[in-house]
Amino acid sequence: MPNKTVPVFIIGSGRSGTRMLFRLLSGHEHIEVYHEYLCTHIQPVACKYFMGFFNDKQTKEEINHLHGAGIYYSKAKYWIDCSNKLSWIVKPLYDMFPQAKFIHVMRDGRKVTSSYFHKLSPEIYDDVSVRAMQNWLKNPKKYPEPPPEKKYWWNIPQKNQPHHEDFPCFDQYQRICYHWNQVLTTIEKSLSVIPKKQKMTVKLEDLTKNKEIFSQFLSFIDIEYTDDMFTYMQRPQNVFVPMDFSLNKKQLQQFEEIAGDTLRKCGYLDKEVYTVQY
């Protein structure tokens, strides 16, 4: 790296405020920021890494000519990518960029899964795309690798990974619950080896309601707090359908069975599911 640019990777499950933060941070003079940088390039890499088809070396080689090149040519103090796709490859990212900062923005999994299911169902774990991925995984000689489109490249648990045996029987909503549960579990494990001064975990709900926590987030990347910035955080961004959808009883039970323990661990389960105001 010919400069002192520091990479900052803002990770999470998706549907947890990454586009909002991208817009918030855009335009700051010492920051170069992206939302899901080279998404269709890095998403298959991340999936192959998690599912065990890419090792660390192969993954780093792919990252090097994607994010690595972007960081190399940046002249900013901070090069930031707000992307849930990076959540699966924290280890190789840290190996490549030991000075990097990582910010995990989490959100109540019941809101995340509902948002995915009701607003983005064509691009996450739909039956047809899952079947295409499963066919390729089972018989790559017969079936071509799915193209690098968002709808195909979501992790399918492999042998000795959690829910490997259950997953084939999951419906779409259960598969989305699996995603939220597994990505948070993976992030927690991956961040455990990152020095404290280089990582931050924060709830989206706190960023939008707690000025002190929001100010700490900004300070982590050397941005001075303003009331206007906090006000901006009050209105949801990346809104395809400006409605708040509730989960039905069956879905709440499915979520509990797959991700209830993780929700409790994150401190959400005893709280009522809030309503988003648009």
Residue 75 domain-assigned (yes or no): yes
- The neighbour count for residue 4, using CB atoms within 10 Å, is 7
What is the C-alpha to C-alpha distance for residues 16 and 142, in angstroms, rounded to an integer? 38
What pLDDT is stored for residue 235 in this prediction? Answer: 77
What pLDDT is stored for residue 1 in this prediction? Answer: 43
Is the C-alpha dihedral spanning 32, 186, 177, 205 positive or negative? negative
Range of the domain at 19: 6-265
Burial of 238 from C-beta contacts in 10 A (0-12 / 13-18 / 19+): middle
Cα angle: 88, vertex 89, 90; to 5 degrees: 105
What is the C-alpha to C-alpha distance for residues 164 and 223, in angstroms, rounded to an integer? 43
Residue 162 domain-assigned (yes or no): yes
What pLDDT is stored for residue 234 in this prediction? Answer: 86
Cα dist. 25→29, 139, 229 in Å?
10, 44, 9
| Tokens of residue 72, six digits | 């190399």
What is the C-alpha to C-alpha distance for residues 76 and 67, in angstroms, rounded to an integer? 14
H helices within the chain, ranges in order? 18-25, 39-50, 56-63, 69-72, 90-96, 109-119, 127-138, 172-191, 204-209, 211-220, 227-232, 249-265
Q: What is the CATH number of the domain that holds 206?
A: 3.40.50.300
What is the C-alpha to C-alpha distance for residues 31 and 9, in angstroms, rounded to an integer? 13
Among 93, 129, 103, residue whose Cα is nearest residue 16: 103
Per-residue pLDDT tens digits of the chain, which is 278 residues long: 457 999 999 999 999 999 999 999 999 999 999 999 999 999 999 999 999 999 999 999 999 999 999 999 999 999 999 999 999 999 999 999 999 999 999 999 999 999 999 999 999 999 999 999 999 999 999 999 999 999 999 999 999 999 999 999 999 999 999 999 999 999 999 999 999 999 999 999 999 999 999 999 999 999 999 999 999 998 776 555 567 789 999 999 999 999 999 999 999 976 556 555 53
- SS3 state at 199: strand
What pLDDT is stored for residue 237 in this prediction? Answer: 62
Residue 204 domain-assigned (yes or no): yes
According to DSSP, the β-strands at 6-11 and 78-82 are parallel
**DSSP of 226-246, one letter per residue?**
-HHHHHHTTS--S-SS--PPP
**DSSP of 54-87, one letter per residue?**
S-HHHHHHHHIIIIIHHHHT--SSEEEEE-GGGG
Residue 274 domain-assigned (yes or no): no
> For the chain, what is the domain count?
1
Q: Can you give the pTM of this predicted structure?
A: 0.94
Non-local CB neighbours of 190 within 8 Å, separated by 6+ positions: 90, 91, 94
Among 15, 185, 167, residue whose Cα is nearest residue 88: 185
